[in-house]
Homo-oligomer: A and B are copies of this chain.
Amino acid sequence: MEQRYGGLEAGGTKMVCAVVDDKGQWIDRLTIPTKRPTETMSQIVEFFKRNDITSLGIGSFGPLDLKEGSPTYGSLASTPKEGWEGYPLLQAFAELHVPIKITTDVNGAALAEATKGAAKGLDSCMYITVGTGIGAGAVVNGTVLDGLTHPEMGHIPVQRHPEDIYEGKCPYHGGCVEGMAAGPAIQDRWGKAGIELAADQNVWELEAYYLAQAIAAYTFVLSPKRIVIGGGVMKQEQLYPLIRASLVKQLNNYVDIGNPNEYIVAPGLGDNAGIEGAILLAKQAVQT
C-alpha cells in the first residue's frame, strides 16, 4: 500500500504542513501563521484529512509534555504563547486514526540534519534555532536526545555583556539566552526588528556574544561533533563568522573544537530542516 507521510512543523510563528509519498515525492504543502489554536488547528487537521495521510510526524514548539504514560502526553505545557498553554496538540489529530509520533521542533530538525543535512554521517550533532524563541535539539550516539522530559536549551543562564544593560525578555528567567538574544529581545533592546538593523555592527556583535556563550555552554555539556544554526534571526548571515570568532574567544583554548567553520554551520536543509524532521518522524511512526 502506498504510504502518505504527513509532517507538521508547529512553530511559534508559523505552521508548516507537508505530505510526502513513499518515493519521497512532495504531494502537498501548507504554511499558515500560528494564531490561537481554534483559528489555526482546524485548517491543519483539514489539510491532512484531505490528503488521506497514513501516518503523522509532529515537531512542535514547546514545552511539550513528552513523559511516557502521562495523561497529558503530547500537550503543550506552560508557554507564553497566547492560547496554547495546555493545548492537547497530539489529541487534536485523534480523528485521523493514524499512527503519530511527536517530539520538539528542534529535535526533529536535528534528526533531519543528522540524517540528510549538514551533519549527515555524524552520530552526534546539535540543531539550534534563533527566532521568536531560542531552542535546540541534539542527536547523541545516533539517537535524538531525550530524558526526563525534553531539553529546553534556550533557557540556560548567560552572563550579561559588561556594556549591556538590557534586563532580558524571558517571562520565566529574564536574562536566559532566549531572553537576551531571541528576535523579541533584539526588537525590545534596540527598538527595531533585526531586519531593520542589518547594517548595525554593534547589534550583531552583541547578538553573537550571547549566542556564542550559549554555544560554549552546549559544547561544555554535550560536546557535539557539529552545531547547525538556523531560524529567522540567522538570516542575518553576518552572524555566522561573528559567532565563530566569539566562541573561540570564550572557549579560550580550553576545548579544541577543530575548524570553527566546520563546527558552526548553516542548515544543510535550509528552512526545510523542521518539516523534513517531521516527515522522518512520520516514517518512524509507521515502523514502530
Query: Does A155 have its Cβ within 8 Å of any Cβ on chain B?
Result: yes
Q: Is the CB of B148 within 8 A of A224?
A: yes
Closest to A146 in B: B223
A254 to B221, CA, bound (A): 20
Size category, A interface: 35 or more
CB-CB < 8 A to A124: which residues of B? 146-148
Query: Does A26 have its Cβ within 8 Å of any Cβ on chain B?
Result: no
Copies of this polypeptide in the complex: 2
Within 8 A of B (CB), among A141-178: 141, 143, 145-160, 172-173, 175
**Which of these, B150, B160, B258, contacts A148 with CB under 8 Å?**
B258
**Which of these, B78, B151, B213, B225, contacts A222 with CB under 8 Å?**
B151
Q: Is the CB of B220 within 8 A of A255?
A: no
Q: Is the CB of A216 within 8 A of B157?
A: yes
Query: Does A217 have its Cβ within 8 Å of any Cβ on chain B?
Result: yes
CB-CB < 8 A to A63: which residues of B? 254-255
Q: Is the CB of B220 within 8 A of A151?
A: yes
Query: Does A239 have its Cβ within 8 Å of any Cβ on chain B?
Result: no
9 shortest interchain CB distances as A-B pairs: A147-B223, A156-B217, A124-B147, A172-B254, A152-B220, A221-B221, A148-B225, A157-B159, A172-B252
Q: Is the CB of B149 within 8 A of A255?
A: yes
Within 8 A of B (CB), among A198-240: 213, 216-225
Binary contact track A263-278/B, C-beta < 8 Å → 1, others 0: 1000000000000000
Closest to A176 in B: B220
Query: Does A245 have its Cβ within 8 Å of any Cβ on chain B?
Result: no
CB-CB < 8 A to A288: which residues of B? none
With A159-B160, A225-B148 known as contacts, the answer to whether A220 contacts B153 (CB < 8 A) is yes
- Minimum distance in angstroms from A140 CB to a CB of chain B: 5
